[in-house]
């Protein structure tokens, strides 16, 4: 197919940026290069859409550009439209959000990949923010609920589940405990280390976890919990990384780590390559 380029307008002087935005919008509507939702919203009622309409050549509406010609930085992933009392403004942001999510079903694979990358980036930011908030609370002390599964009793912090041996305390399901994560300086092993099988090079060796509360008999408890599991060492290495604000989804050159799941992008929990290799040798 032969391509042809046509000049739709020529100006010999500076033109108002708003007028440029309107002219670009006119071209997008005439050539039907916007999303189907946008075309149906801005074209006159009863307008015929071509079979190729909605190919998303133009992902953003020209009307949403600033007067300086740069795209307006509307954060569709995090903007809380419920904070607005103005119904017109709420409707505006709701339409932006809806148009963005419509990119997921675009017939254009490039646009679908763009949507996928944006969603993955937003998920990473949300997860990092949540983990940092959890880390701050954990180091200063937090309340947790006891989980019971048969004879097992435990509590959770973010992705991690901590078992409490019945040898040290009998706990009621749903009971509230106060947990403190005590992290010592590098190269200093905690006298009440949670992961007892941790090696000298493991960050987990610096971590002690203390719980206080009331046991199933109504007596007060103040104990340091511990675990002898080998895999707990790898999980606690990652837990310490989280407490120190490191990226736990991409450990880079850190070894002996557990990598938690990222469910929003379909990523399952795994281990760093050195541990995966170790497990394969054992099998």
DSSP 225: E
At residue 145 the predicted structure's pLDDT band, cuts being 50, 70 and 90, is: very high
146 pLDDT more than 90: yes
**Residue 22 contacts residue 64 (beta carbons within 8 Å):** no
d(CA 253, CA 170): 41
Question: Quick one: what percent of the chain has pLDDT higher than 70?
Answer: 78
Q: CA nearest 99: which of 110, 123, 115? A: 115
Most confidently predicted of 23-37, 136-150, 207-221: 207-221
**DSSP-derived pairing of the beta strands 152-157 and 160-163:** antiparallel
Tens of pLDDT, residues 90-133: 676 677 677 777 888 888 888 888 888 888 777 777 766 766 66
Burial, 108: exposed, middle or buried (Cβ in 10 Å; 0-12, 13-18, 19+)?
A: middle
Residue with tokens 């103005």, as numbered in its chain:
86
**Residue 251 contacts residue 203 (beta carbons within 8 Å):** no
CA angle 227/233/234 to nearest 5° reads 145
pTM of the predicted structure, to 2 decimals: 0.58
**Neighbouring C-alpha atoms within 13 Å toward the C-beta of 101:** 8
Q: Write down the pLDDT at residue 42.
A: 84
β-partners of residue 271 are 258
Residue 108 contacts by C-beta under 8 Å, 6 or more apart in sequence?
A: 55, 56, 57
Burial, 38: exposed, middle or buried (Cβ in 10 Å; 0-12, 13-18, 19+)?
A: buried
Q: Write down the pLDDT at residue 196.
A: 95
Helix (H, G, I), strand (E, B) or coil at 158: coil
Tens of pLDDT, residues 193-234: 999 999 999 999 999 999 999 999 999 999 999 999 899 999
**Residue 155 contacts residue 123 (beta carbons within 8 Å):** no
At residue 71 the predicted structure's pLDDT band, cuts being 50, 70 and 90, is: very low
β-partners of residue 280 are none
Among 67-76, 244-253, 263-272, name the one with the lowest average pLDDT: 67-76
Q: CA nearest 201: which of 161, 162, 233, 167? A: 233
d(CA 78, CA 130): 13
Q: Write down the pLDDT at residue 73.
A: 41
């Amino acid at each position: 197919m032969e391509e042809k380029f046509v000049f739709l307008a020529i100006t010999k002087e500076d033109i108002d940026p708003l007028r440029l935005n309107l002219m670009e919008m006119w071209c997008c509507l005439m050539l039907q290069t916007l999303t189907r939702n946008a075309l149906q919203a801005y074209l006159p009622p009863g307008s015929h859409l071509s079979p190729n309409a909605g190919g998303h050549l133009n992902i953003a509406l020209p009307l949403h550009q600033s007067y300086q010609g740069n795209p307006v930085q509307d954060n569709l992933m995090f903007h809380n439209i419920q904070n607005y009392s103005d119904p017109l403004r709420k409707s505006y942001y709701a339409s932006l959000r809806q148009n963005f999510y419509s990119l997921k079903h675009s017939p254009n694979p490039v646009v679908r990949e763009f949507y996928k990358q944006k969603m993955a980036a937003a998920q990473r930011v949300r997860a990092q923010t949540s983990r940092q908030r959890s880390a701050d609370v954990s180091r200063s002390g937090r309340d947790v609920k006891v989980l019971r599964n048969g004879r097992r009793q435990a509590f959770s912090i973010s992705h991690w589940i901590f078992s409490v041996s019945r040898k040290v305390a009998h706990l009621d399901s749903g009971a509230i405990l106060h947990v403190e994560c005590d992290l010592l300086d590098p190269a200093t092993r905690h006298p009440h280390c949670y992961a007892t099988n941790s090696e000298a090079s493991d960050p987990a060796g610096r971590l002690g976890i203390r719980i206080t509360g009331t046991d199933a008999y109504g007596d007060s408890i103040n104990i340091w919990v511990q675990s002898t599991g080998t895999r707990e060492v790898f999980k606690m290495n990652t837990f310490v990384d989280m407490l120190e604000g490191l990226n736990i989804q991409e450990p880079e050159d850190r070894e002996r780590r557990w990598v938690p799941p990222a469910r929003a992008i379909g990523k399952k929990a795994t281990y760093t390559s050195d541990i995966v290799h170790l497990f394969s040798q054992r099998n």
